[in-house]
Amino acid sequence: MIAMVGGHVAIADRFRRLAGRIVAVGYLMGLILVVPDMGDQARMAATWWTPFAVALAFGPGLAMGALSFHSDSVWMRRAAVLAAMGYPVATGTWLIAWRHIPLHADQWLADVPALAGLSAAVVWPVWASLLTLVVAATTATVVNYTGRAPEVNVPFVPDLLYACGYSALFVAALLMFIRTGRQLQTIQTETFRGAASAAAMRGRADERARFAALTHDWVMSTLLAAARGSERDTVRRLASRTLNYLDDLEHPFGRVLDAPDTAARLRAAITYIDPKLPITVEVVTDAQRWAFPAAAVSVTAAAAGEAVRNSLLHAGAGAYRHVWIHVGDNGFHVIVTDDGVGFDTAADRPDRLGITLSIRARMRQLGGGSAAITSRPGAGTTVRLDWSGPLIDRRAAVNEYGGPVARSLAPLSMRTLLGMRTPAARVLVGCYLLAYTASIATTPALLSDPWPTLACVVLTVAATAAVLLMPGAPPSLGVSLAILVAGGPAQFAIVSAVGSLWQDTTAQEWSLGAAGAVCTFMCLRGRVALGWLAMVLVFAEFAFRAGLPAGGTHGFTVPFLYLAPLVAATFFHRIIRPVASTVLDLRADTLHRVSVEAAEAAAIAERDRQLHRLGGLTRPLLEQLAGAEPIDDVRNECALQEAELRDALRAPQLAHSPVVAAARAARSRGVEVLLYDEHGFDDVTEPVRRRLRTVAVTELDRARDGSVIVRIQRPGRLPLVTIVANGSDGTRRTELDRDARPLKRAVGA
């Protein structure tokens, strides 16, 4: 069952929750991969510190992943804050717990400063996340620099640059991912607003067209027949049919709606009456294959609207109301409830015509429809409206009746999700490569073996830039292989083969980090298997060069740490595509629903306005024409009303009270009045329209016989308005510009 209870898809929140889960995977992998070093170094610090550090540095990060499934994301955010703050605290306290036994490898917790920045990115803005990363990386570098034995220590600045630069790649990618979610949320809101506005315009236009057709084909023809002295029975029959059309105008027979549209139209009819009324909408999944007659939906919506109106009028000011709409595979029903004053349903009272005619009779006349009203004094009222008529297969309905074709939204590529197309991404990668090049330039290898060192730098820079810039989702197989080979095994093979590079910890660290970054981001871009294969080859090179039998497993600790982002990237890639697809599907469904509701609400509003205008103007006269009394004394009134309706159709910009009254008075004096509007004034301001109407009223009031023709020309014509008055006192021609000001003096006899 699909529950639709107001609101839109919270894309930004979904992306943030996904980010929390991905970071939690990073915490889990990081914890697993530092366990060997954790055991080796446990004796080098106070006994209390290791469990304290694990709990403080990894506990909140793991909890963040679990809490990302909680209905309230505030708990996940709190865990992310604790994780971001816990890492530098746990790392820094190692200096207090350290027993001053020299380290011959990195301190185990100082190997994962990126985790603090990633946690911060889940909950904090860019500047705070990057600041957190810098603090965590600086703390980790200080710990390593302080604790390492002199023979394995490395310069502080290159080590800090590596810790910040390598970690910043992943933190920035996560920040851009969350930013993309926020942007999609903004785009969604703007899209919904625009779609609702466009749909409302279409809804109003459709209703105006329907009323224009009714006015022309039935109301005006009936009035014209009466004005011209047609036979009384003919006029009576035309008037009766016109009144029936007015009564049934709200029922759009001959169309079908799918399940979401059915729910949306029922909802729109109710929210138009009371926008704040709580409404629960349920659409059964099996109902998606069926189409429902729009006439049945419209009649039920009208009956439900009457039930809501009755509740608002009679249930009492303090009554609580709720509407439940259910669309299933056997029909649909609407339940309107309130806990108001109630009434005795057995009592037959004349003031309950709304219940008798607008609810019970309306649903009873509908094939498959029924209405049940339950109430008693002091116990509230429940109105249940059911329709269980024959359903129509949607595929047949679309073929027979036509229907909206859902336009698939373009899928979001990983480059877009991670912001890899943005200038900020290029700047960040540029800074990373600059830090890499500067660090390699400080090593002795540049002087002793310049060409291999430069070759390593060129391969790394080219591969890293290509990951960012090459198109494709994923990039082509050939391009992907070239990037991964160059940025992974090829450049690390140079480091392994050249003794001066292999012996330099800075060069080795940067080379492993660059290979891990290239493989990770290619994994994110869709080349998962190739990314893992390239990283496995790098590990094989490391094992061969380090000498596995001699070095045991200790030498594998550092390379294996680069599996953590690769595992997280694989997890990210596997879940983000279906989730992103779900988000887009929900966005498309919601967009469609918003458009339908807006169109329906606008159509209802326009329908009520037109019915009020048309009914107020013509219904009393039509009812008189449909009766048995003579109509000779109202023939002139029929002619005047037919002319006013014709003016409203042909010249809507002029169909306003002052002009209508002046035209009626002129026609009563025997003046022929013709009003035309070719839409030249559709986009002018209201003061300009008022000025035009004032000029038109002046000419109409002045005419005593003959004719007055007011014509608004097509846009771009000059003069834009012409008013020609032809009578016994001569001919006057007035020409107006776009501001409704005279182009020249009126010419008259």
Cα gap 541→511, rounded to integer Å: 12
List Cα–Cα distances, 395 to 297, 339, 405, 407, 577, in angstroms.
19, 42, 12, 17, 29
Mean pLDDT of 56-68: 95
Does a structural domain hold residue 724?
yes
The partner residues of 372 in beta bridges, in order of sequence, read 384
* Joined tokens for residue 260: 């979401």
Mean pLDDT of 298-302: 80
List Cα–Cα distances, 465 to 49, 376, 486, 514, 575, in angstroms.
41, 76, 11, 11, 26
Q: Identify whether the C-beta of residue 603 lies closer than 8 Å to the C-beta of residue 200.
A: no
Does a structural domain hold residue 91?
yes
> 153, 175, 208 — which closes off a domain?
153
* Joined tokens for residue 9: 């898809």
Computed on alpha carbons and rounded to an integer, the radius of gyration of the chain in Å comes to 39
Give the strand pairing for 381-387 and 331-338.
Answer: antiparallel
Assessment of whether the complete model's pTM goes beyond 0.75: no
The dihedral through the CA atoms of 518, 521, 523, 527 has a sign that is negative
Q: What is the 3-state secondary structure (H, E, C) of 562-590?
A: CHHHHHHHHHHHHHHHHHHHHHHHHHHHH
Domain with 109, as residue range(s), is 1-153
Number of domains the chain is built from: 2
Range with the poorest average pLDDT among 222-226, 294-298, 500-504: 294-298
Q: Identify whether the C-beta of residue 106 lies closer than 8 Å to the C-beta of residue 91.
A: no
pLDDT at 597: 65
Nearest to 724 by CA among 668, 673, 657: 673
Q: Identify whether the C-beta of residue 283 lies closer than 8 Å to the C-beta of residue 259.
A: yes
Q: Identify whether the C-beta of residue 169 lies closer than 8 Å to the C-beta of residue 419.
A: no
At a CB cut-off of 8 Å and minimum separation 6, what does 494 contact?
Answer: 452, 455, 456, 459, 501
At a CB cut-off of 8 Å and minimum separation 6, what does 135 contact?
Answer: 88, 116
What is the enclosing helix (H) or strand (E) of 311?
Answer: helix 294-314
Cis peptide upstream of residue 474 (ω within 30 degrees of 0):
yes
* Joined tokens for residue 25: 């995977």
List Cα–Cα distances, 254 to 293, 333, 386, 388, 412, in angstroms.
8, 21, 20, 18, 39
Is residue 743 predicted with pLDDT exceeding 60?
A: yes
Does a structural domain hold residue 614?
no
Task: Identify the band that residue 617 occupies on the pLDDT scale cut at 50, 70 and 90.
Answer: confident
What is the enclosing helix (H) or strand (E) of 710?
Answer: strand 707-712
Does a structural domain hold residue 452?
no
Range with the poorest average pLDDT among 378-382, 610-614, 712-716: 610-614
The 10s digit of each residue's pLDDT in 6-21 is 334 467 888 899 889 9
> 134, 153, 172 — which closes off a domain?
153
Mean pLDDT of 397-417: 49
Please state, rounded to an integer, the average pLDDT across all residues of the chain: 81
The 10s digit of each residue's pLDDT in 20-33 is 998 998 899 889 98
The partner residues of 673 in beta bridges, in order of sequence, read 708
User: To the nearest whole percent, how much of the chain has pLDDT over 90?
Assistant: 31
> 153, 178, 205 — which closes off a domain?
153
Q: What is the 3-state secondary structure (H, E, C) of 9-51?
A: CCHHHHHHHHHHHHHHHHHHHHHHHHHHHHHHHHHHECCCHHH
Does a structural domain hold residue 278?
no
Does a structural domain hold residue 664?
yes
* Joined tokens for residue 312: 């608002």
Cα gap 625→635, rounded to integer Å: 10
The 10s digit of each residue's pLDDT in 353-390 is 456 556 776 677 666 888 888 888 888 999 999 988 77
Does a structural domain hold residue 61?
yes
* Joined tokens for residue 504: 């330099």
Q: Identify whether the C-beta of residue 564 lies closer than 8 Å to the C-beta of residue 26.
A: yes
Q: Identify whether the C-beta of residue 537 lies closer than 8 Å to the C-beta of residue 489.
A: yes
Does a structural domain hold residue 14?
yes
The 10s digit of each residue's pLDDT in 618-663 is 888 888 888 888 888 888 888 888 888 888 888 888 888 899 999 9
